[in-house]
Structure 1
């Protein structure tokens, strides 16, 4: 199973060398086996990449994330059509019942709100707000018809960062979250595509201009986990998102986590989560979607 997230900043070129990634930077040459890599993140405007390497990356289902001049992920290259039953899975996905999608979305939203509550509780001793969040958790209905997710998110962020906080505000919290969410969104796209799923067909998100509706559905329970990691390694240490902080955020994918009684990394848990989602949808049993809990992150320090 792949495990490396490779971050490359301002290299001269990257290319294929005997099933290895060859990286040239400042006169030095580095080699990394492709079999070890899950994600490659590229920063800088001058890196040359060969089509031969891109072809081999797709065969290994290695995701490439490209960042803009502000170091924010702005595009991705991922494998397409490598799943052995892609057409059959696409037909199944297009035929998912409305009731089943509503029920699975209820479970996803509840997992997200539960993780928000648990993260809030670990750093804020505001019993009233936590009680309100608990009520919102219990009120989630099929399809989240009353938008408990949106109401909970507003209360959650205001509790963490103040009543004047909005997700549009320019501040280190938002910059770090936007970067972190882009990382888990990119990784989730890789996982879902690897299972032969059509990324534009979501269970809740259905924006006609969004090519990653399903990805945005599946990543929701992982957002509070990223919030926790950002709070731990970035916030309170600097006023801007430095290169070192970006590396810390990316390293979230390598953090140890328990899932189904076994120790994995966040990256591996995301892959297992997608597989449990596929099983739940194929068998029409939402209880087969194994929950993701912030409490399962292994805190080693």
Structure 2
């Protein structure tokens, strides 16, 4: 599996050269082996891409993100099929019961809240706020019918921002940074879901009719605190600079503990998606291999 995340801006052309991505920028001519690439993030709207290159990127299961004028990811390109046993995997997914989905979802939210509490402790949030999170976590039931996730989120974000803060407010530049980081990780999860032969639109809890990646929207939840921690620790100044955007993209190379070992986010995502099959076969959320942010290291570019 590839590991490089290639960020492209102010380039003339991207093309295929043998089994490599070829980048033209003025007199600069660089090649990167396709086997090394996990994701390609393109910010230059004037950049030319050859159809032949796009086909090969798809064959190599490389995540391709096209950004808009505001440098925010706008378009995700992924292969139509990405797994040799896709039909078998899809049939397993279609047979996941609603009861087991509820159990798995509560397990996902439990880990998300646990990771949020870790971030709160890292930033020395008042103990009484963390105690409220503990209390909410104990109230979690299969399916989270009481929306413990939402209640915890309010306490969590209000611990770092003022009481008027909301996640959908454009008045906070931190929201733009959070959304950018979430989108990068969400896209990486969507790519991995397809690579594992699953149906991306068929979620565990999310059922958005216009969301083609409901399953990724489920899986991202325990990964969100990783982005939160970075943005809180390194808040953007006024707007998202190119360097800051690159740092958010590089969160894919941050390391967290998953399955009792330190792994990059890319690898942690793969372990999580693969573990879904064991979790649904046994009906036990404990089979899920989810990220633990107690031990977390950011990639230094």
Asked if these proteins are the same fold (TM beyond 0.5), I'd say yes
What secondary structure sits across from 1:31 in the alignment?
strand
Matched with 2:173 is 172
CA distance in 1, matches of 2:280, 2:143: 15
Cα 1:299–1:68 shift into 2, 3 Å: closer
For the 8 Å contact 2:103–2:283, the answer to whether it is kept is no
Matched with 1:88 is 88
- Whether 1:255 and 2:254 are equivalent positions in the alignment is yes
Matched with 1:187 is 188
For the 8 Å contact 2:253–2:299, the answer to whether it is kept is no
What secondary structure sits across from 1:294 in the alignment?
strand
What secondary structure sits across from 2:159 in the alignment?
helix
TM-score where L is the length of structure 1: 0.95
Give how far 1:292 is off: 1.6
For the 8 Å contact 1:7–1:40, the answer to whether it is kept is yes
Cα 1:151–1:80 shift into 2, 3 Å: same
Cα 1:300–1:4 shift into 2, 3 Å: closer
Cα 1:257–1:125 shift into 2, 3 Å: closer
CA distance in 1, matches of 2:82, 2:213: 18
For the 8 Å contact 1:101–1:203, the answer to whether it is kept is yes
Segments of 5+ residues of structure 1 without an aligned counterpart are none
Matched with 1:54 is 54
CA distance in 2, matches of 1:253, 1:300: 8
State how 1:114-129 maps to structure 2 within 5 Å: 114-129=114-129
CA distance in 2, matches of 1:33, 1:277: 31
CA distance in 2, matches of 1:165, 1:55: 44
| Matched positions, count | 299
CA distance in 2, matches of 1:158, 1:122: 15
Give how far 1:145 is off: 0.6
Give how far 1:299 is off: 6.3
CA distance in 1, matches of 2:147, 2:272: 24
State how 1:1-301 maps to structure 2 within 5 Å: 1-170=1-170, 171-232=172-233, 234-235=234-235, 238-298=237-297
Segments of 5+ residues of structure 2 without an aligned counterpart are none
Give how far 1:283 is off: 4.0
CA distance in 2, matches of 1:89, 1:132: 40
Q: Deviations over 1:186-211 (max 9, x none)?
A: 00001111111111100100011111
CA distance in 2, matches of 1:22, 1:253: 23
For the 8 Å contact 1:259–1:296, the answer to whether it is kept is no
TM-score where L is the length of structure 2: 0.95
Q: Alignment RMSD, CA only?
A: 1.5
Higher mean C-alpha displacement, 244-253 vs 81-90: 81-90
CA distance in 2, matches of 1:102, 1:271: 22
Give how far 1:27 is off: 2.7
Higher mean C-alpha displacement, 64-73 vs 78-87: 78-87
